[in-house]
Amino acid sequence: MKNAPLTRRDFLQSCGAVAALAGLSACQTSLPASAPAPLAAKKLGPNDRPGIALIGCGGQGTNDALTAASYGNIVAVCDVDETHAAAAAERLTKDGKRPAIYSDFRRVLERDDVHVLINGTPDHWHTLVNLGAARAGKDVYAEKPLTLTIDEGRRLVRAVQRSGIILQTGTQQRSSPRFRQACELVRNGRLGKLQTADVWLPAGLREGPFATAKVPAGLNWDFWLGQAPKVEYVPQRCHRNFRFWYDYSGGTMTDWGAHHNDIAYWAIGELAPRQVSSRVLTPPIPGGYDAFSEYEVVYTYASGIKLNIHTTKDDSIYGAKVKLDGQRNGIRFEGTAGWIWINRDGIKASDPELLKAPLPENAVRLYNSPNHMQNFFDCVRSRQAPICDVETGHRSATMCHLGAISLRSGHTLTWDAQQEKFTGDHAREANAYVQRELRAPYDYSFVA
């Protein structure tokens, strides 16, 4: 893929068109003058293959690295679980060259032959690894959601912009022609005036209570917990099911929501909703997963558009076997002139002609990336902004965090997207969720 030069229009879209056109730049950020200067990202020659390191060797991270191996050489893997690291190294061995194995990602950042990181860690580790990459001048493909909190996102935006590294958020639906088509049709008024967007997310797991257990051999449990509170080892907290604990993730709101809410954000084209309300449908089981499994969230935008989030059990999630006899996860946009339904299985509309008739030459066109990982590596070479750069990834993740905060606080909340804080009723309680206390020594000084 050959990228066109980044135009001012592209830049404004990546920063949030509404804010930019209003003269409220979402991308003008800076670090304190006292912050140490980051190392410069190493430029690659036309025939160079970048050295790639995988941080976080679970299933998603390893799959990302296998895809990335088409564009560079996997030279290192890192995980606090020795079993995961060894398995990933085995799968990523190519032509007899086995990647080096590490247990501390900071040692990987010291390697001069590592140009690119694949960050496949659990959500609560995303930000520190990404900040370390920015400090070390390493480009990074960062799994979604980009952050665990809104404050982390703003810190990361400043660090990435200051360092000049390329960061691609792993919301790969943006690189699907189907999802881009739906967003362009909405943006260009094919549905008339957009009134509502409805997102269906898979319901989360609701299980427990769970018993503590002996930490498995080879797992550094304290390092895995990192910034999160110190707790005894519980198998259901670690690895795949970390998503259902608020200390490490945000439930399906930030997991699948990072995909479908991102597409809604792209189509609506406004920087952020003005108000968010929510309703918990099933409370957690005491001693079990604490992220809400079934819920409803309603976002209201300044334009009057409403984005409604629903959960559905009629889908397959994390190995659960369910009957597909209802509403599968996906997105439905409805306007005064029709509707579009879109998910990974297909796209359909109230009138099939909506999907067939070409847009005019002067239509709004969104960033065209036919392949998410390729787009990242193209941008590593060109130093142009990828389709889901750090600001876009941060604003997209913020949508998910707003919903999770409303659910956890139990209140209808008002959000100021420019100040990036809650205002009005219940603002103090809600703003307490915007950032978190980091357990020492895994605070921001860990990657300073």
Tens digits of residue pLDDT in 195-218: 999 999 999 999 999 999 999 999
End residue of a domain, out of 174, 197, 229: 174
In a 3-state reduction of DSSP, which class is residue 416?
strand
Q: Are strands 194-202 and 306-312 parallel, antiparallel or unpaired?
A: parallel
How many domains does the chain divide into?
2
Kindly state whether residues 51 and 120 are assigned to the same domain: yes
Question: By residue range, what is the domain housing residue 101?
Answer: 8-174
Kindly state whether residues 192 and 165 are assigned to the same domain: no
In a domain, 165, yes or no: yes
Kindly state whether residues 168 and 186 are assigned to the same domain: no
Per the listing, tokens 């995909």 go with: 259
For residue 223, the model assigns a pLDDT of 98
Kindly state whether residues 49 and 148 are assigned to the same domain: yes
Q: Which of 6-20, 96-110, 136-150, 328-342 has the lowest mean pLDDT?
A: 6-20
In a domain, 403, yes or no: yes
In a domain, 26, yes or no: yes
Whether the Cβ atoms of residue 54 and residue 133 lie closer than 8 Å to each other: no
User: Residue 213, CB half-sphere, CA atoms under 13 Å: how many?
Assistant: 11
Q: What is the DSSP string of 219-260?
A: B-HHHHHTTSPP----GGGSGGGGGGSTTT--GGGTTTHHHH
Kindly state whether residues 200 and 219 are assigned to the same domain: yes
In a domain, 393, yes or no: no
Kindly state whether residues 277 and 210 are assigned to the same domain: yes
On the question of pLDDT at 418 being above 60, the answer is: yes
Kindly state whether residues 211 and 305 are assigned to the same domain: yes
Instruction: Note the pTM of the prediction, 2 decimals.
Output: 0.89
On the question of pLDDT at 25 being above 50, the answer is: no
User: Residue 411, CB half-sphere, CA atoms under 13 Å: how many?
Assistant: 16
Report the share of the chain in percent with pLDDT over 70. Answer: 87
Kindly state whether residues 323 and 234 are assigned to the same domain: yes
How far apart CA 114 and CA 95 sit, in angstroms, is 19
Kindly state whether residues 184 and 164 are assigned to the same domain: no
Residues 6+ apart with CB under 8 A from 162: 30, 31, 35, 38, 134
